[in-house]
A and B are shown apart, each in its own frame.
Chain A
Amino acid sequence: MKPLSRRTLLRGTGAALALPWLEAMAAKGPAAKAPVRMAVLYMPNGVHPDNWTPAGVGREFVLNKTLSPLEAFKKDLIVATNLWNQASKGGDGHYVKTSGFLTCTTVTKTLGVDINCNGVSMDQVAAQRSGQQTPFPSFELGVNPVTTGVDRNVGYTRVYGSHIAWSGHTNPLAREINPRSVFERLLRSTRPAGNSAKSDAQLLDLVLDDAKQLRTQLGRADQVRMDEYLSVVRSLEERLERSTSPAQRAWKPRVAIDPAAKPEAQPKDYADHVRLMLDMIALAFQTDSTRIATFMFSNAVSNQNFSFVDGVKGGHHSISHHMDDPEQMRQYQLIGQWHVAQYAYLLQKLAAIPEGESNVLHNSMILFGAGFRDGNKHDPHNLPLVLAGRAGGRLNTGQHLIYSPDSPLSNLYVSMLDAFGTPVERFADSTGPARGVLV
């Protein structure tokens, strides 16, 4: 593989500088328990079905080829086998399985007019209940912009293939794909808010009045749109207010960001771009700017050219339709392994950030997965899923958990939401927590 250019990588373990006052604070007494963070890395097009599942079960397991980049983190992993997403069974091969990945619901088939994922994604369930504690309730990140157009072959808007985070049934969350923009947002949020935040809040007050007044003149369907605008402006206003009134501010940046570590805005190279976005997740977690992040390696049906990986020649989606051809399958496996290696890179990065007596990885849970297993079959049975990090000690890692065939994926989400500190009784089609995940 082509080495990453040093230029694009952030320096050291991150772009954060430890602040003297923080160390002083830490010395004062027993430090508060570090918060739990959660990230989900989604990969499109599935994985080679035969080189994923580890050999062995429970604590005695051997990583298969595709997961081999995770060898150093074996003790921090849970590999979950036999979970499936029943709600994403029908429909088409990709869109239903992307938007439904974190909602465990069946999205409405449409070119757009009645777009509805019929659920809220697991990350947003967590964000809606805990997001007030950090400057950003959650981060939605990606590398590629939303795919153009609607897919008339299968009858779905490609919006479904470009979003995994849904804050409401009809609200996919737009993603940030520019690493510099993310960096600048982080930079602003970790600095003391000045007068500009106050005057922004005043301005938004007037905007809210405009929107409320306009709302009264609208028909019902249009009111829904105006409500969306009201709600996003209100949340921005609240955030600005929180940042300007220190008394109310529960959140304190754990470290400051080095402004000189600014990444480039539009990395030319896909691999660089992926790593920079993962760097941003690490930085956001390190500074406690947000505790929830979702990241899409690419959109559904992506035909990203992976010829930069040694031994691969061609695009992801076309190779995923390997037709059981051994040569295609070999390349398909290499692409999957490349994705896992990027996941390992993020784990490495988080593990290298000390926090209290452990590190950020210890206090996180990072899920890696895809919406179906074999790209040649678009099959949502036995999904490829790995969870890493210990959620501050809540996760029982170092295991290969084999469930009975077709156990609900949503059970895993129930366990994750519990570990995150936002427990739910049920999530979509869940039947309980996933056995063995929690300590």
Chain B
Amino acid sequence: MLKFLLFLAPAAFAADPFTFAEAQGLLRTHCAKCHSGKVALGGFNFSQFPDEASITTRSKLWARAANLIREGEMPPPGNPAVALEDRDRFSTWITTTLHKAACADGITPPAFPLRRLNRNEYTATVRDLLNIPVNAGRNLPIDGAGGEGFDNAAETLFISPIHAEKYLEAAKIALDYAMRDPKSRAAFLTPTPDARATLTALLPRAFRRPVQPAEIDRYVALFAAAEKRGDTYDDAISYAIQGVMMSPHFLFRLENATHDYAMASRLSYFLWGGMPDAELFKLAAEGKLADPEVLSAQTVRMLKDQKSREFAENFVGQWLSIRELGRDIKPDPKVAGDYYETEVESGIQYEPALFFHEILMQNEPLTYLIDAPYSVVSSKLARYYGMVPTGIRQQPVRFKLPPGSHRGGLLGMAAVLAVSSYPTRTSPVLRGKWILESLLGTPPPPPPPNVPELKEHEGGTPQTLRARLEQHRANPTCASCHNRIDPMGFGLENYDSVGRWRDTDAGQPIDASGVLPDGTKYNGPDELKKVLFAKKNQIVRNLAGKMLGYALGRGLTTEDECAVDQIVTAVERDGYKAHTLITEIVRSVPFRLETKQ
């Protein structure tokens, strides 16, 4: 089979797939006019594909068809629309067929593309290289995201003219600080002035690989030029190091290789968001990072290091969209109560990452994300949640939740509840969408291009939000998606727009019940968690895909999904333990860039 990099539609595995005959039925009913017989608009003619196996010969074409149908772009406006469920089952048929074929064929991982360090990676790398507690990257532009939704995706790490200017400035700021701090000087300068020795020790760390003597010579020459100009030793060595920090060998991650140094960097940027430490460099030098057992041991060691908090923050902040809190999403101070008290706001923003980090550190089950006996809170945040903060202070710590706290798991966290609310009020739609997208990995398709007007029924607009949404769902165009979205969100109505518990809203008792499309009924957040717990495999699969995408810094291909299958199987078998997920990702074919299975 031809190898293509296919980037599949989301929700690729969620619905019950069509059979070949059912798919043919849909195509004949809706697509025949333009895509069969002698007509092949867009180069697509389904009559050329007599059986299921034949579609895998044109996988790119069919993957595109899956996307267009799923998102409702095909059939084009003016033709009878395909029902949402059929759209899902049709696209799932294509993706699972292509998936099976790809997996049977073995995984050939794509290259690990060259990319610059993103803003956070730059900061962490400079911090470790010079041993300074300074946020050197703070003036760099903030990076956008691609692939699975992360800002370490090679494809969206652009370089603008402003970057060159800012890198130069950032290196100066970092070195100014480092040269004045005795602790930092000791980390990268020789005890007595010796430019060559200093650069010989620094360059392999800065470039994260062994360096040639000729490379060292060039930076020693830069030092010499500065000295000749009359610079002091400090200024001249600082100048040479500034050159090192502007070099593409420092600024770019060049890790498209199976060799051990590339592996050391892939590991450290994945789990620490920064450069490898002495132990990883040593193992790379000894050629030991190809050994899967060494990889597992290193993964666990790295997770237990405090630097893995960087990973937890970057990953969770983006996976769950929490990073938008305080950026584009800001609760209105008029309704936010104590939310903006310093310790409360930061406690809310950090809680999901600290909680996730705790699961990683302790190797606890990933199902804790759905429901857990503890959270990580400060005393003020505990009080904000209506709990008595016995035994905790200003610093967020692991805190056992009392019975009836209605907290535990991501859905009880104010950050999650606020990021899926409007500034002034809650929205079951946004919250339902958040659950479908962030947790279950099945984002609803886009609304039709012209959202129809909400028709007012006789007797005027109904009073409550729930009633208005029910009215909205009376329109079949809206109902097909909102029947999935809204019922998930209703269960969280007991939390206000900044995550505080409430039993009433504007004098009315809260109705937090919901009926899911499959008829499942539940009432309130605690029962909603049970509903989600029953879907734990789907949630863990979504998490595994996201994390593999984060680890690789790119969008996943069909073949990567085969690796996800293997990872998820291992995680399930191992009782959903957090370490298993990470070690399986590290040992996976795409991460190790091994071409054989």
Further pairs besides A211-B247, A236-B164: 4, Cβ < 8 Å: A153-B446, A214-B249, A315-B423, A376-B451
Shortest C-beta distance, B135 to chain A (Å), equals: 13
Residues from chain A with a CB closer than 8 A to the CB of B252 are: 225-226, 229
Check B327 for interface membership: any CB of A closer than 8 A. yes
Q: Which of A144, A233, A323 contacts B454 (CB 8 A)?
A: A323
Q: Are B248 and A206 in contact (CB under 8 A)?
A: no
Q: Are A207 and B446 in contact (CB under 8 A)?
A: no
Q: Which of A152, A225, A298, A302 contacts B10 (CB 8 A)?
A: A152
Q: How far is the CA of A113 from the CA of B446 in the complex (A)?
A: 20
Shortest C-beta distance, B433 to chain A (Å), equals: 8
Q: How far is the CA of A171 from the CA of B160 in the complex (A)?
A: 7
Q: How far is the CA of A402 from the CA of B348 in the complex (A)?
A: 52
Q: Are B450 and A221 in contact (CB under 8 A)?
A: no
Q: Are B164 and A235 in contact (CB under 8 A)?
A: yes
Q: Which A residues, 308 to 326, have Cβ-Cβ distances below 8 Å to chain B?
A: 313-315, 318, 321, 323-325
Check A68 for interface membership: any CB of B closer than 8 A. no
Residues from chain B with a CB closer than 8 A to the CB of A34 are: none
Check A56 for interface membership: any CB of B closer than 8 A. no
Chain A CB within 10 A, most for which of B143, B144, B256, B328: B144
- Write out, one digit per residue, whether chain B residues 213-255 have a CB within 8 A of any chain A CB (1) or not (0): 0000011001001100100000000010011001111011010
Residues from chain A with a CB closer than 8 A to the CB of B115 are: 225
**In the complex where A150-B147, A236-B161 touch, is A111 in contact with B7 (Cβ < 8 A)?**
yes
Q: How far is the CA of A146 from the CA of B142 in the complex (A)?
A: 6
Q: How far is the CA of A315 from the CA of B328 in the complex (A)?
A: 10
Q: Are A207 and B451 in contact (CB under 8 A)?
A: no
20 pairs, CB–CB < 8 Å, chain A vs chain B: A113-B7, A113-B155, A140-B162, A145-B327, A148-B149, A148-B317, A149-B145, A150-B145, A150-B146, A150-B149, A170-B158, A200-B168, A202-B222, A206-B219, A225-B116, A229-B116, A232-B160, A236-B164, A305-B423, A313-B332
Q: Are A153 and B437 in contact (CB under 8 A)?
A: yes
Q: Chain B residue with minimal CB distance to A165?
A: B160
**In the complex where A148-B327, A154-B446 touch, is A174 in contact with B162 (Cβ < 8 A)?**
yes
- Write out, one digit per residue, whether chain A residues 226-243 have a CB within 8 A of any chain B CB (1) or not (0): 101100110110000000
Q: Chain B residue with minimal CB distance to A211?
A: B248
Residues from chain B with a CB closer than 8 A to the CB of A170 are: 158
Residues from chain B with a CB closer than 8 A to the CB of A378 are: 449
Binds A, one of B84-92, B274-282, B318-326, B376-384: B318-326
Shortest C-beta distance, A148 to chain B (Å), equals: 5
List A residues at the B interface (Cβ < 8 Å).
92-93, 110-115, 137, 140, 144-150, 152-155, 157-159, 162, 167, 170-178, 181, 185, 195, 199-200, 202-204, 206-207, 209-211, 214, 218-219, 221-222, 225-226, 228-229, 232-233, 235-236, 298-299, 302-305, 307, 313-315, 318, 321, 323-325, 376-378
Q: How far is the CA of A365 from the CA of B278 in the complex (A)?
A: 57
Q: Are B146 and A145 in contact (CB under 8 A)?
A: no
Q: Which of B242, B251, B323 contacts A148 (CB 8 A)?
A: B323
Residues from chain B with a CB closer than 8 A to the CB of A181 are: 139
Q: Which of A113, A154, A155, A304 contacts B146 (CB 8 A)?
A: A113
Check B106 for interface membership: any CB of A closer than 8 A. no
**In the complex where A111-B555, A113-B147, A144-B328 touch, is A307 in contact with B334 (Cβ < 8 A)?**
yes
Q: Which of A114, A225, A314 contacts B424 (CB 8 A)?
A: A314
Residues from chain A with a CB closer than 8 A to the CB of B163 are: 174, 232
- Write out, one digit per residue, whether chain B residues 103-129 have a CB within 8 A of any chain A CB (1) or not (0): 000000001011110000000000000
Q: Are B422 and A147 in contact (CB under 8 A)?
A: no
**In the complex where A159-B146, A232-B159 touch, is A199 in contact with B10 (Cβ < 8 A)?**
no
Residues from chain B with a CB closer than 8 A to the CB of A148 are: 145, 149, 151, 317-318, 321, 323-324, 327
Q: How far is the CA of A407 from the CA of B330 in the complex (A)?
A: 39
Q: Are B159 and A229 in contact (CB under 8 A)?
A: yes
**In the complex where A222-B113, A302-B328, A378-B449 touch, is A318 in contact with B145 (Cβ < 8 A)?**
no
Q: Are A315 and B449 in contact (CB under 8 A)?
A: no
Residues from chain A with a CB closer than 8 A to the CB of B423 are: 303, 305, 307, 314-315
Q: Are B443 and A115 in contact (CB under 8 A)?
A: no
Check B526 for interface membership: any CB of A closer than 8 A. no
Q: Which B residues, 318 to 377, have Cβ-Cβ distances below 8 Å to chain A?
A: 318, 321, 323-324, 327-330, 332, 334
Q: Are A146 and B111 in contact (CB under 8 A)?
A: no
Q: Are A206 and B222 in contact (CB under 8 A)?
A: yes
Q: Are A305 and B159 in contact (CB under 8 A)?
A: no
Residues from chain A with a CB closer than 8 A to the CB of B332 are: 305, 307, 313
Q: How far is the CA of A140 from the CA of B141 in the complex (A)?
A: 11
Q: Which of B144, B160, B450 contacts A157 (CB 8 A)?
A: B144
Q: How far is the CA of A211 from the CA of B243 in the complex (A)?
A: 12
Q: Chain A residue with minimal CB distance to B226?
A: A199
Residues from chain B with a CB closer than 8 A to the CB of A204 are: 168, 246
**In the complex where A150-B145, A305-B330 touch, is A112 in contact with B155 (Cβ < 8 A)?**
yes
Q: Are A158 and B144 in contact (CB under 8 A)?
A: yes
Chain B CB within 10 A, most for which of A146, A203, A321: A203
Q: Are B318 and A149 in contact (CB under 8 A)?
A: yes
Q: Are B156 and A115 in contact (CB under 8 A)?
A: yes
Residues from chain A with a CB closer than 8 A to the CB of B251 are: 229
Q: Chain B residue with minimal CB distance to A162?
A: B144
Q: Are A203 and B222 in contact (CB under 8 A)?
A: yes
Q: How far is the CA of A150 from the CA of B9 in the complex (A)?
A: 13
Check B153 for interface membership: any CB of A closer than 8 A. yes
Shortest C-beta distance, B325 to chain A (Å), equals: 10
Q: How far is the CA of A178 from the CA of B422 in the complex (A)?
A: 26
Q: Are B168 and A149 in contact (CB under 8 A)?
A: no
Residues from chain B with a CB closer than 8 A to the CB of A159 are: 144-146, 156
Residues from chain B with a CB closer than 8 A to the CB of A307 are: 332, 334, 423-424
**In the complex where A146-B143, A154-B446 touch, is A226 in contact with B248 (Cβ < 8 A)?**
yes
**In the complex where A146-B142, A159-B144 touch, is A176 in contact with B162 (Cβ < 8 A)?**
yes
Q: Chain A residue with minimal CB distance to B139?
A: A181
Q: How far is the CA of A221 from the CA of B154 in the complex (A)?
A: 11
Residues from chain A with a CB closer than 8 A to the CB of B155 are: 112-115
Q: Are B158 and A172 in contact (CB under 8 A)?
A: yes
Q: Are B161 and A111 in contact (CB under 8 A)?
A: no
Residues from chain B with a CB closer than 8 A to the CB of A140 are: 160, 162
Residues from chain B with a CB closer than 8 A to the CB of A321 are: 451
Check B517 for interface membership: any CB of A closer than 8 A. no
Q: How far is the CA of A256 from the CA of B164 in the complex (A)?
A: 25
Q: How far is the CA of A202 from the CA of B226 in the complex (A)?
A: 10
Q: How far is the CA of A416 from the CA of B450 in the complex (A)?
A: 32
Q: Which of B226, B318, B425, B555 contacts A112 (CB 8 A)?
A: B555
Chain A CB within 10 A, most for which of B165, B321, B554: B165
Q: Chain A residue with minimal CB distance to B156?
A: A112
Residues from chain A with a CB closer than 8 A to the CB of B210 are: none
Q: How far is the CA of A179 from the CA of B496 in the complex (A)?
A: 35
Q: Which of B239, B327, B328, B443 contacts A152 (CB 8 A)?
A: B443
Q: Chain B residue with minimal CB distance to A204?
A: B246
Q: Which B residues, 147 to 188, have Cβ-Cβ distances below 8 Å to chain A?
A: 147-151, 153, 155-156, 158-165, 168
Q: How far is the CA of A424 from the CA of B143 in the complex (A)?
A: 33
4 tightest Cβ-Cβ pairs between the two chains A and B: A112-B146, A159-B144, A174-B141, A145-B142
Check B453 for interface membership: any CB of A closer than 8 A. yes
Check B71 for interface membership: any CB of A closer than 8 A. yes
Check B67 for interface membership: any CB of A closer than 8 A. yes
**In the complex where A150-B145, A236-B165 touch, is A155 in contact with B156 (Cβ < 8 A)?**
no
Check B445 for interface membership: any CB of A closer than 8 A. yes
Q: Are A303 and B422 in contact (CB under 8 A)?
A: yes
Q: How far is the CA of A146 from the CA of B246 in the complex (A)?
A: 24
Q: Are A225 and B67 in contact (CB under 8 A)?
A: no
Q: Chain A residue with minimal CB distance to B141?
A: A174
Q: Are A174 and B160 in contact (CB under 8 A)?
A: yes
Residues from chain B with a CB closer than 8 A to the CB of A229 are: 116, 159, 164, 248, 251-252
Q: How far is the CA of A115 from the CA of B445 in the complex (A)?
A: 21
Q: Are B113 and A157 in contact (CB under 8 A)?
A: no
- Write out, one digit per residue, whether chain B residues 186-205 have a CB within 8 A of any chain A CB (1) or not (0): 00000000000000000000
